Amino acid sequence: MDAQLAAQVVVLASFYSLVGTGYVLVYRASRVLNFANGELMMLAAYFFFSLAVLGQRLLPLTVLMALVLAAVLAAVIYLATVRPMTGYPVFSVVLMTVGLAIVLRGIAELVWRAQARYPLEALHLPNRPLTLPAGVTITAVEAAEVGAAIAFIGGILAFLRLAGIGVQMRAAADHPVLASQRGINIHLAFALSWGLAAVAAGIAGLAFAANVRLEPNIAEQGLRALAVPLAGGLTSIPGTVIAALIVAASENLAVRYADPLLAGVVPYFVILAFIVLRPWGLLGEKEELERV
Amino acid sequence: MAAGSGYLYTSYTRALAVLDTTFKKQCLSALATAVILFPLVGSNYQVHLVNLSFIAVIGALSQNLLIGYAGQVSLGFAGLFAAGGFTAALMVKELGFSAFLPVLAAASAVGVLLGVLIGLPALRVKGLYLAISTLALHAVIIYGVSEYQHRLGGSAGIVMPKPSFGPIVINSDREWYYLLGALATLVTLACINLTRSRVGRAWQAIRDRDIVAAACGIPLLRYKSLAFVVSSGLAAMAGAVDAYHAGFVSAEKYSFLLTVQYLAMVVVGGLGSILGSVLGAFVITLLPFIIDFIVHAFPTPERLLISVLQLQRIAFGVVIVCMFLLEPRGLVALWERVKTFFQLWPFKFVVARVR
């Protein structure tokens, strides 16, 4: 039974760390908390669903196409709305992303309606339960989600350290002015960050839609995951992963031992605890914190 | 105040007056007459819409005092609004109060207490982290009220009575109009004077540069807390008024979208401007109805007709995004431009721009 709980924690944590990585990538690039992250996650899942309905049958190709579409959308959003706002107060840009979130949600409701969809059924694929050792049962999609989270986050960390453009992205995030002086196309780097963020959130969205259901409201799951990067320190992907485990564990424990209604509040309690004790998060950069 | 044209003040009293020119006085009295006579002309529906806007004015002003004047970013509005609404509901349901004013006072008092609590993180962190901690407190308050609603059994919500002052009971939209209009005017006047006073100036100094403000002898701790207290008290009062006006309190209503709506009013109107908040409150409240009107006035495809709600939402988002991209200083900046144009007319250019 306890092994089952641990498995649930890992599954939830991989969801949270994927969405959280989306927030971190955007925050590092534009110093903006992207409130439209949940909507990007939801839209990636809808792209997946539509491709499936339109007759795409090959699962890996469908997933890839949906993620690429989401990445392109995010890059376009960056270039069309966030880039012109360079130099405005951060607060304005953050509120602008809230506006974006409303627009994207409205468009999703307009195009796909508010009813719940089931993308796996559209693909005629089953979601089999898998039995792991120690009597743990998780669904195939959940297993794939954990695998994808490990692969993607590992991949992106390696990409940022090793690949040329990855190093350029880090340079642009650390000091945009110096980076552009050295000939780095910072807007390309930032657009790429937004695109990768949409891919991270999109994987989580696809998994959620395939495992549970798909409706415009699943964007709120993304908003709830906001606690994770904050606890992890907003600029650090490893910190986000650790924080995801902490938040997922406390959420599962609260639901099991206290009150199911608590599920939505626990992440916020974790944030409050962090703001009081360690406002820069687990592995965040200490010096950039705005403290009184 | 006036740029370019020769306004000459002959006494300090004149310079300090809110209505410093005769033209302003005339405009305001015309506006006041229009506001008072409006219910005699407008339909019930139109009066109802203006009523909603009056409530929004109170809420938007509370947010503008905090965000626009004191510079403390908060995302906790819906929580405070909910606290006000549920305090009113509790007073009526559990304690059996029916008089309007004591309930309003109690709701404001709860708001003030919560303001002290929400202001606590502001003494330690600022900017983004403050915004997030207020969001966390919003989640906690909403959890509390939905837990209470859950306990009551009937998860639909709590029905509110009609507000009463002794023997007088407010029934129709027109009676509501005068009550809410008076309340909104009072709050607006209070805010205008508050922002002109010592407190308001201290807030603006803190907003512009907190370290310099502290060096000038402004006690940061006291004035930041005061900003949260005043704003939360007003927000909770608006929540209570709204609960009475809707006749119904339910936890589902107080979502994060409500916070966004009020933030949009403040920002679309113009941060740090009372006039801006009033304009923003009216525009954002009426926007969905205007879109509804447009959709029905022109021949629209059937598919769009059934999704008016989605269109409203998209238009709301587009207005916010466009406002940020095109005029980040808000509607009030547009108004200033028009005003400057006419003050300078027939000349075109401002030589020295004085606000």
- Percent of chain A exceeding pLDDT 70 equals 95
Is A276 an 8 Å CB contact of chain B? yes
Q: What are phi and psi of B301, to 5 degrees?
A: -60, 145
pLDDT at site A12? 92
Distance CA B81, CA B111 (A): 9
Query: CA–CA separation, B131 vs B121, rounded Å?
Result: 10
Least confident of A228-242, A278-292, B19-33, B169-183: A278-292
User: Mean pLDDT, to the nearest integer, of A191-210?
Assistant: 94
Computed over every residue of chain A, the mean pLDDT equals: 86
Q: How far apart are CA A265 and CA A246, in angstroms?
A: 14
The mean pLDDT value for A123-127 works out to: 79
Residue B99, φ and ψ in degrees, nearest 5: -65, 145
Closest residue in chain A to residue B73, using alpha carbons only: A91
B11/A258 Cα distance (integer angstroms): 68
Q: Is the per-residue pLDDT at B255 higher than 60?
A: yes
Residue type, A227: A
Sign of the alpha-carbon torsion through B171, B177, B180, B183: negative
For the beta carbon of residue B48, count every other beta carbon within 10 angstroms: 17
Measured in angstroms, the CA of B20 and the nearest CA of chain A are apart by 33
Alpha helices in chain A (DSSP H): 2-30, 37-53, 59-77, 90-112, 119-122, 140-162, 164-174, 176-181, 186-211, 219-224, 227-232, 237-257, 266-277
Neighbouring CB atoms inside 10 A of B96's CB total: 7
A residues 216..275 contacting B (CB < 8 A): 223, 226, 230, 259, 261-262, 264-265, 268-269, 271-272, 275
Give the bridge partners for B99, in sequence order.
B164
Q: In the predicted model, is pLDDT for residue A290 greater than 60?
A: no
CA distance A216 to A193: 24
Confidence bin at A221 (pLDDT 50/70/90): confident
Q: Which residue has the tokens 């350290």?
A: A161
Cβ–Cβ < 8 Å for B28, B185: no
The DSSP bridge pattern shows strands B168-169 and A136-139 to be: unpaired
Verify whether the Cβ–Cβ distance A110 to B311 is below 8 Å.
yes
Q: Is residue B32 domain-resident?
A: no
The amino acid occupying position A235 is T
Q: How far is CA B122 from CA A249, A272, B137, in A?
A: 29, 12, 12
The CATH number for B331's domain is 1.10.3470
Q: Is residue B132 part of a domain?
A: yes
Is B264 close to A279, i.e. CB distance below 8 A?
no
pLDDT at position B334 = 86
Q: Do B311 and A109 touch (CB under 8 A)?
A: no
Instruction: Kindly determine whether residue B325 and residue A84, on different chains, have CB atoms separated by under 8 Å.
Output: yes
Judged against a pLDDT cut of 80, whether residue B6 lies above it is answered with no
Q: Is pLDDT at A136 greater than 70 in this prediction?
A: yes
Domain count, chain B: 1
Q: Is the pLDDT of residue A291 over 50?
A: no
User: Which token pair is B190?
Assistant: 């209070």
pLDDT at B153 (0 to 100):
66
The answer to whether position B355 is within a domain reads no
Task: Name which of A198-202, A270-274, B109-113, B228-232 the model is least confident about.
Answer: A270-274
Q: Which domain holds residue B251?
A: 46-344
pLDDT band with cut points at 50, 70 and 90 for residue A286:
low
Confidence class for position B150, pLDDT limits 50, 70, 90 = confident
* Interface ipTM: 0.80
Q: Could you give the CA distance from residue A241 to residue A249 in angstroms, rounded to a whole number?
A: 12
A196, two tokens = 């990768």
Mean pLDDT, to the nearest integer, of B311-330?
84
**B248: its two tokens:** 């119904």
Q: Which residues are within 8 A (CB) of A94 and not within 5 positions of it... i.e. 6 or more apart?
A: A32, A33, A35, B128, B131
pLDDT band of residue A138 (cuts 50, 70, 90) is confident
CB A92 within 8 A of CB A85: yes
Say yes or no to pLDDT of A275 above 80.
Answer: no
Task: Give the pLDDT confidence score for residue B355 in this predicted structure.
Answer: 47
Residue B25 pLDDT greater than 80, yes or no: yes
Tell me: pLDDT of A225 over 90.
no
User: So what's the pLDDT on residue B155?
Assistant: 63
Phi-psi region of B127 (alpha: psi -120 to 50; beta: other; left: phi over 0): left
| Sequence-ordered list of residues with C-beta below 8 angstroms from that of B185, at least 6 positions apart, any chain | none
A92 at interface of B, judged by CB pairs closer than 8 A: yes
Top-confidence range, A89-98, A130-139, B60-69, B119-128: B60-69
What would the pLDDT profile of B48-58 be if each residue is shown by its tens digit? 999 999 999 99
| pLDDT greater at residue A198 or residue B4 | A198
Question: Is A92's CB within 8 Å of B324's CB?
Answer: yes
B235 neighbors B80 (Cβ within 8 angstroms): yes
B217 CB neighbour count, 10 Å cutoff: 7
B174 in a domain, yes or no? yes
3-state helix, strand, coil in chain B (%, to 5): 75, 5, 25
Task: Collect all residues of chain A within an 8 Å Cβ-Cβ radius of residue B147.
Answer: 259, 261
**What per-residue confidence (pLDDT) applies to B1?**
43
User: Per-residue pLDDT for B280 more than 90?
Assistant: yes
Q: What is the pLDDT of residue B108?
A: 95
Enclosing H/E stretch for A33: none
The alpha carbon of residue A131 is apart from the nearest alpha carbon of chain B, in Å, by 36
Output b/e per residue, B253-275; b: 16+ Cβ within 10 A.
Answer: bbebebbbbbbbbbbbbbbbbbb
In this complex, the residue of B133, B313, B321 whose CB is nearest that of residue A81 is B321
Report long-range pairs for B91-94 (Cβ below 8 Å, ≥24 apart).
B92/B158, B92/B160, B92/B161, B93/B158
> Does A102 have pLDDT greater than 80?
yes
User: What is the model's pLDDT at position B2?
Assistant: 45
Give the pLDDT confidence of A148-164 residue by residue, as tens digits. 999 999 999 999 999 88
Q: Does any domain span residue B3?
A: no
Confidence of residue B303 (pLDDT cuts 50, 70, 90): low
DSSP letters along A225-287, please?
TTHHHHHHTSS-HHHHHHHHHHHHHHHHHHHHHT-GGGGGTHHHHHHHHHHHH-TT-SS--GG
d(CA B56, CA B62): 10
Instruction: Determine contact: A98 vs chain B, CB below 8 A.
Output: yes
Supply the pLDDT for residue A271.
79
- Cα(A18)–Cα(A153) distance, integer angstroms: 8
**Count of pairs with CB atoms under 8 A, one residue in A, one in B:** 129
How far apart (Å, rounded) are the C-alpha atoms in residues A172 and A28? 9
Cα–Cα distances in angstroms (integers) from residue A189 to residues A32, A193, B36, B92, in the given order: 15, 6, 57, 58
Q: How far apart are CA B175 and CA B170, in angstroms?
A: 6
Let me know if residue B7 belongs to a domain: no
pLDDT at A250 over 50: yes
Q: Does the pLDDT value for residue A63 go beyond 50?
A: yes
Q: Which of B26-30, B155-159, B244-248 has the lowest mean pLDDT?
A: B155-159
Which of B133, B307, B324 is the closest to A99 by Cβ? B324
Q: Which residues of B touch A23 (CB under 8 A)?
A: none
Structure-model confidence comparison of residues A93 and B280, the more confident one: B280
- Nearest CB partner across the interface for B324, out of A85, A90, A102: A85
Overall pTM surpassing 0.90 (yes/no): no
Q: Any long-range contacts for A79-82 (C-beta under 8 Å, 24+ apart)?
A: A79/A187, A79/A191, A81/B321, A81/B325, A82/A30, A82/A32, A82/A190, A82/A194
Closest CA to B229 of B92, B123, B85, B97: B123
* Phi then psi dihedrals of residue B74, to 5 deg: -135, 140
Q: How far apart are CA B70 and CA B206, in angstroms?
A: 6
B39 inside domain = no
